[in-house]
Structure 1
């Protein structure tokens, strides 16, 4: 068993004081710790919440905790060092199916895409035969599994054999695509946005891939994950945080000035990159009715469970009951 100090070291945890208009936490405000990743968009939202004083207005104080990466975030959440993180729907579903009573609050439907140079002759997934294809993550990356299934069902193409897939970290694959060492690359959305600003284009997006499986609209595959126990202890704190998150997104969608505290966090080297990152973030704001979102998520989860099996989703072949938070104190 790791001690609290050992767990924090393993997770790469550093407390971060998020200062806003109010400046200090009052005794009437409940503190909520949210995990923040380097260059992650949760830090964008947190910055707006603090700058606008949204958390204080909701009777809570948001405390950001810097985390080294996605694995560190999961360690921190499971060890109780943070109250919530933004993570993958598949991971949240697996936790719940394995007995950890967690809830999922949709955060963003913005997903990755298959990127090619602007002047590429590639026009469809079928054109990937024989091409050098970079894939962010590993063989069990959900977008890669879905792209393979889509190519097989729509084009009769086995990308694993017909193309030349190479797995790796997104920054490395982005550089290889830019240098011409790859013909196409399946990347996460922030890297896609940066490439678009440099003249690259999408061959197909994650939404286009999902449509092949009967999905009718955007799905928030990223969401805030938190324990039911926190809901039971502090229902008003969690509800206030959910409203604060929504208000921050509304502010960013409605007012360019709201981006002022966000711009320094975006690592956007020019106006074109800033504009594409901003557009992609706003496009991912969840706007669908909960029932429609869940129905599509269940449809896509069933496909991923079939494709990735237990290595990807664990023992559950369907989304666990009660995974989505409905806004009430009991989930």
Structure 2
């Protein structure tokens, strides 16, 4: 078949255009992250995707939604996804049992004990005999840290000195709003919503961590992945961490970005502002080596109070729990 000179020139021009495109356009590495559909991580990931920060860092981020945290853990361990968000205690336990998971800090935002503005409760000691709602279960890190502080400073064993009720975060907040609980310990974003609706912080888990020996904020959660995956896909792992930081920087500076996210967050006005401010306070800003050192101190406190049910048989946080590449 004869090809006209005009067609030949067009094909040559197209070839030149394709050849001139950066190799990164064709080399974006797939990163599959599993998250909860309505979790706070989705705010950051939505920002990352909206502003194409994944493309800018040569990754193709695929967000896979799950109904519960257990499902994300199983999917990661099975290799169905590359990354999830969870805490360093779980990472350390997996490593101590032979796994190779590791973590890049995501957020230092943590829960707090909240009371009504008009409540006479002013210190941990005032919780004696009170009815407390706790989200996250009896092995929740924030609950254990607050217990440790109450024991040390007030000789108070909260589980026996108080009427403790465990429940799902939304239910705990609802019961607090209805006045059925004297105090509640909830996750950070539920606490922020309570703050916007007539409640005050009695003590945050971050206050407890500092009182118990941490030199600064410690990330409660991190982006968790297999170390061998990161080693085999180093550019992708680094690219994701960089894109995450850029999304955080945008959320730290732009109030308009929070207004855009309002429908996803399901908040507006004072509630949205409080969530924005608490999120910003939780952006990790310390060198990872400092966080890892403080996490190691807190691990010993948590192991002492939570026992094998929490940490297994490992008396110390497993080396490599925090991704060593971040310290370079």
Instruction: Tell whether the structures are fold-level matches, with TM greater than 0.5.
Output: yes
Q: What residue is the counterpart of 1:9 in the other structure? A: none
Tell me how far 1:26 sits from its aligned partner: 5.2
Q: Is 1:89–1:221's contact at 8 Å kept on the other side of the alignment? A: yes
The structure with the largest helix share of the pair is 2
Q: Is 1:48–1:261's contact at 8 Å kept on the other side of the alignment? A: no
Q: In the aligned structure 2, how far is the partner of 1:95 from the partner of 1:158?
A: 30
For structure 1, the 5+ residue unaligned runs are 1-24
Structure ID, larger Rg? 2
Residue 87 (1) aligns with residue 70 (2): no
SS of residue paired to 1:262: helix
Q: How does 1:226-237 map to 2 (within 5 A)?
A: 226-237=225-236
Q: How does 1:224-303 map to 2 (within 5 A)?
A: 224-268=223-267, 270-303=268-301
Q: In the aligned structure 2, how far is the partner of 1:82 from the partner of 1:26?
A: 23
Equivalences, count: 305
Of 234-243 and 131-140, deviating more is 131-140
Tell me how far 1:129 sits from its aligned partner: 0.8
Tell me how far 1:42 sits from its aligned partner: 1.6
Structure 2 vs 1, CA of residues 74 and 237 (structure 1 numbering), >3 Å: closer, same or farther? same
SS of residue paired to 1:82: coil
Output the TM-score relative to the length of structure 2: 0.89
Tell me how far 1:260 sits from its aligned partner: 5.0
SS of residue paired to 2:324: coil
Q: In the aligned structure 1, how far is the partner of 2:275 from the partner of 2:322?
A: 27
Q: Is 1:47–1:261's contact at 8 Å kept on the other side of the alignment? A: no
Q: Is 2:141–2:302's contact at 8 Å kept on the other side of the alignment? A: yes
Tell me how far 1:27 sits from its aligned partner: 3.3
SS of residue paired to 2:153: helix
Q: In the aligned structure 1, how far is the partner of 2:154 from the partner of 2:240?
A: 45
Q: In the aligned structure 1, how far is the partner of 2:210 from the partner of 2:322?
A: 22
SS of residue paired to 1:291: helix
For structure 2, the 5+ residue unaligned runs are 1-23
Q: What residue is the counterpart of 2:324 in the other structure? A: 326
Q: In the aligned structure 1, how far is the partner of 2:37 from the partner of 2:122?
A: 34
Q: Is 1:112–1:206's contact at 8 Å kept on the other side of the alignment? A: yes
Q: How does 1:99-114 map to 2 (within 5 A)?
A: 99-114=98-113
Question: What is the RMSD computed on CA atoms of the aligned residues?
Answer: 1.7
SS of residue paired to 1:327: helix
SS of residue paired to 1:322: coil
SS of residue paired to 1:111: coil
Tell me how far 1:157 sits from its aligned partner: 1.4
